[in-house]
């Protein structure tokens, strides 16, 4: 596709429910990142996938959060038993071969998650 695609764009859920957020990176990009941004806050790193290497999960805030990337392309971020503090914009980004090359990440439009 022309850019990073995320779905859904908005998700409202009840506390305790599970949610899945999807990211379709730019074709050919080997690196994929998940960040989240709360109101008035910066970007909080969650997880990083690079090719077939083991992902960097160091940013996941709790074991309720998990992510997978199938076939080196589409990624799904799953949040189990959602809590109100999970409410944020979840941003996915991809890059050609990782931020270490030139720092250029291409971000999707994000999923606005609201936990009631």
Partner 1 sequence: QKEVEQNSGPLSVPEGAIASLNCTYSDRGSQSFFWYRQYSGKSPELIMSIYSNGDKEDGRFTAQLNKASQYVSLLIRDSQPSDSATYLCAFLANSGYSTLTFGKGTMLLVSP
Number of Cβ within 10 Å of residue 63's Cβ equals: 7
Q: According to the binding rule CB under 8 A, does residue 91 interact with partner 1?
A: yes
The binding track of 4-43 with respect to partner 1, each residue x by CB under 8 A or -, is ---------------------------x-x-x----xxxx
Distance CA 1, CA 44 (A): 26
Q: How many CB atoms lie within 10 A of CB 90?
A: 23
Does residue 83 touch partner 1 according to CB under 8 A?
Answer: no
Name the DSSP letter for residue 115: E
Beta carbon of residue 64, minimum distance to partner 1 (angstroms, whole number)? 21
Among 67, 105, 113, 115, binds partner 1 (CB under 8 A): 105
For residue 14, the minimal CB distance to partner 1 (Å) is: 25
Nearest partner of 91 among 2, 1, 6, judged by Cα: 6
């Amino acid at each position: 596709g022309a850019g990073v695609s995320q779905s859904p764009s908005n998700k409202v859920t009840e506390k305790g429910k599970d949610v899945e957020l999807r990211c379709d990176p730019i074709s050919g990009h080997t690196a994929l990142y998940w960040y989240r941004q709360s109101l008035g806050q910066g970007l909080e790193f969650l997880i990083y996938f690079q090719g077939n290497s083991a992902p960097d999960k160091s940013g996941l805030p709790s074991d309720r959060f998990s992510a997978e990337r199938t076939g080196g392309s589409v990624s799904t971020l799953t949040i189990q038993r959602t809590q109100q503090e999970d409410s944020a914009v979840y941003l996915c980004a991809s890059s050609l071969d990782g931020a270490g090359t030139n720092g250029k990440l291409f971000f999707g439009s994000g999923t606005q998650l609201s936990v009631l």
